[in-house]
Every structure is written in C-alpha cells, then in structure tokens.
Amino acid sequence: MLFSDFKKNIHIIQKTRLGGIKEQFQVAPNYRKQYDLKKIKAKNPTKSSVLIILFPNSTGQTSFVLTKRANYDGHHSKQISFPGGKQNLNDKNLLETALRETHEEIGLEIKPETIFKKLTEVFIPVSNFIVQPFLALLNYEPHYTTNYEVDAVFTPSLDDILQLKNQKITQVKTSDGKTVETPYFALNKEIVWGATAMMLSELRHLILKAQ
C-alpha cells in the first residue's frame, strides 16, 4: 500500500471501531483464548505499552517497525516485538512509556503528536503483562540506533500482513518449554506470533475496514 494512500485513510482509521479480542484471536494460540477480560483483570497484570510505527519506505510503500529481542534469560528472548516495555514510576502515562522505551531501544525520538490511534490491549499470560499498543505515523524513513535489548530491527511492508499467504500455522516452543501450535505471520523470514501477531491482526482489520 502506498504511503500516500495510507495517509488519505487516516481519518477513516481513526473513526473505525476496533476489532478487539475477536480480531486478536484470529492469530492467537488456543491457550490464549481462555483469558477473557474478567480473568485478565483478576490477575492484576503489569502495565506496559508499545509503538507501532508506520512510515514510507524507499519505494513509497507503507512499512512498520519490528524488533528482534536479544538473547537473554527471560520470557521473550529472541522473540519478535514492537519497541516498548514496562511502565515505570516516572512515566506519566502509558504513551510516555512507549515513547521512552522506543527511544531507549532503537534511538527514535517519536513525538506525541504522531500518535493517531490506540489499539486494544493485549494480555501476555507467560509474563503477566498487559500491553497497550499505540499507532504512530512518520512522514520519513527512520534510522535506528539499538541498545543491548535489541538484536535487530526490520521493517516489513504493510502489504505483508494484508496478504493471506503470509498468515500460516506452525509449532513453537514457549519460554516455559511447552510446544504449542499457533497461527503466525511470516515476515522477513521471521515467525511473528503471540502478542505481536495479535496486534497486527487488529491493525489488519482496521486497514481493511478503511479501504
């Protein structure tokens, strides 16, 4: 999708109702589907947030930013995610958390005025996090300076999530050693599953509804 066309639809996207859990669950592993809003609230999850940064690539197509986590002793080692992280005591709100974490992880100073919509929160059972995604729009292709948390940055095209051929099913090993079957997006030769895929599924819903 050309970035110029995407920008023309921003006002429609802003008014479009979110797909919520229904759209998230289109690409969620089955074990995720046991967690309804009541069960999530009862677990008192840790609040966090991420940025979904959309921008024009070198050919004028709309792309977005994903990171591959570094190898570390933790739940999300080597997984694909959006820049962001846990809210800390000094953050005024979850948007400030996402902006701060994005700057720390990939060196981008994103202005609050670039944010044009929030997606539905996503619960991550293994770490008991609840993640608020924010959509940000840049009019240029950014350059990145990664910190120790990030192994690599890659930038798929928005068309990659709109094409059904890139949604597949595979088996993955979770951080607790279990093997589960899950839908995923095949993006830049990476398996994008779990919370990140669930956010992308809702984003896809918005884009298609706005066309």
- Domain spans of the chain? 3-158+195-210
Q: What is the mean pLDDT of residues 25-49?
A: 88
Give 117's contacts (C-beta < 8 A, 6+ positions apart): 13, 14, 134, 135, 206
Distances (CA, A) of 97 to 65, 83, 110, 131, 155: 17, 11, 12, 11, 22
Strand segments, DSSP code E, in the chain are 46-56, 62-64, 66-69, 80-81, 84-86, 115-118, 122-124, 129-137, 150-154, 167-173, 179-187, 190-192
Greatest extent of the chain over all pairs of C-alpha atoms, in Å: 47
Tell me what pLDDT residue 39 has: 85
Range 85-106 average pLDDT: 97
Confidence of residue 153 (pLDDT cuts 50, 70, 90): very high
pLDDT at 63 over 90: yes
The reported pLDDT for the residue numbered 151 is 95
Percentage helix, strand, coil for the chain under 3-state DSSP, each rounded to 5:
35, 30, 35
Task: Specify the residue for token string 């599924």.
Answer: 201
Look at residue 31 and tell me whether its pLDDT is greater than 90.
no
Q: What local confidence, expressed as pLDDT, does residue 72 receive?
A: 63
Question: How confident is the model at residue 35, as a pLDDT?
Answer: 81
Determine the residue type at 119.
L
CATH topology of domain 3-158+195-210: Nucleoside Triphosphate Pyrophosphohydrolase (3.90.79)
Q: What is the pLDDT of residue 52?
A: 98
Q: In the prediction, which pLDDT does 158 show?
A: 97
Token pair listed for 97: 């958390």
- 164 against 96, higher pLDDT: 96
Mean pLDDT over 139-152 rounds to 96
Evaluate if residue 74 carries a pLDDT over 60. Answer: no
Sign of the Cα pseudo-torsion (65, 71, 75, 79, in order): positive
Percent of the chain with pLDDT over 70: 97
